[in-house]
Amino acid sequence: MKSENKNKLCRSTPAPKTGIVHLGLGAFFRAHSAIYIKEAMAHSGGDWGVVGVSMRSPGVRDKLVKQGRDSTRRPDFSADEYRSLIRTLPSWIDKGREGKSRDMRHLLRDYVLILANTGIRHGTEADNLRWKHITLFEEKGDVFLEMSVRGKTGRRDIICHSGTVNYLKRIQDWCPDVADMSFEDLIKAKIDLPVFRLPDGTSSQNLRQTFKRLMIDTGLLTCPRTGQNRTLYSFRHTYATFALLNDGMDIHTLAIQMGTSIAMIERHYSHLTPRLRKEMLTGKRYELSKEEFDEFTEIQ
């Protein structure tokens, strides 16, 4: 070790007191190198520093008091908005300029449909999805589609809605290097190629812009329930909403499927509780039947 580096590698000041880490350490150090953190601390003054903690320790979790405002509801699509969007997509694609612009629209169509039918994360999980990560299996006469996705919480296996097969087949059909195979053979071959590609084999990083254009053209950019602009993540939130309201999925299963915690599901989707308990909240057991109402009216 060179002597001139000694001061940079050794701590000469008192150890900082333990505080709350608002960012995960991995995300923090990807954003700032250690030298910039040290300089910022030196210039700011005060008795503070950056300390790593393990959130798996119950003692640490109990000491980290909740701060700041509650998480807000995420922008999603209602059932009517989602149906309207899906019906509009074919004509919207045809209006795009020929070439890469229209290819992007074609890819976006199946991209958003797969997001909405799997709950996977836009970006991290979708971009890392390859054909070798997809499996078909049969059980009691039913065929299931399984994906192995890698995201913030590591790798997990998920079961997709049945319609997802059709969207994957459509992507396959316009990729020349895999189009001649049957879908079943493609899945069995475990080919190490990205699923979301343009016909020329390239992966696009501009789907956000294409999606925003779609939202503007369809008048769906702003979610009326939150006042926020929708993003590609809105399809993940739509998946969660439909799973809870329409499919009756319990929050434990949903948390596993989406690669998140039960606490996060409860925090971001607690607004759905009244609709999930609508029969109880409307008090139907206290309502009069037609016969009871007629009898009551006669008495009055």
Residue spans of the domains in the chain: they are 12-63, 79-270
pLDDT (tens digit per residue) in 124-145: 899 999 999 999 999 999 999 9
- Quickly state the pLDDT bin for 100 (edges 50, 70, 90): very high
Considering only residues 215 and 14, tell me which one the structure prediction assigns the higher pLDDT. Answer: 215
Percent of the chain at pLDDT above 90? 56
Considering only residues 280 and 181, tell me which one the structure prediction assigns the higher pLDDT. Answer: 181
* β partners of residue 64: none
- Helix residue ranges, H only, the chain: 6-9, 25-31, 34-44, 58-63, 79-94, 100-118, 124-127, 164-173, 183-189, 207-218, 234-245, 251-258, 262-269, 273-276, 278-282, 290-299
Q: Mean pLDDT across the stretch 91-98?
A: 94
Residue 299 pLDDT: 45
CATH no. of 79-270: 1.10.443.10
Is the whole-model pTM more than 0.75? no
Residue 113 pLDDT: 97
CA dist list (Å): 143 to 159, 195, 246: 11, 20, 22
- Quickly state the pLDDT bin for 73 (edges 50, 70, 90): confident
Statement: residue 172 has pLDDT above 90: yes
CA distance 9 to 210: 47
Cβ(212)–Cβ(223) under 8 Å? Answer: no
Task: With residue 144 as reference, give the H or E element that holds it.
Answer: strand 142-151
Cβ(267)–Cβ(255) under 8 Å? Answer: no
CA distance 89 to 245: 25
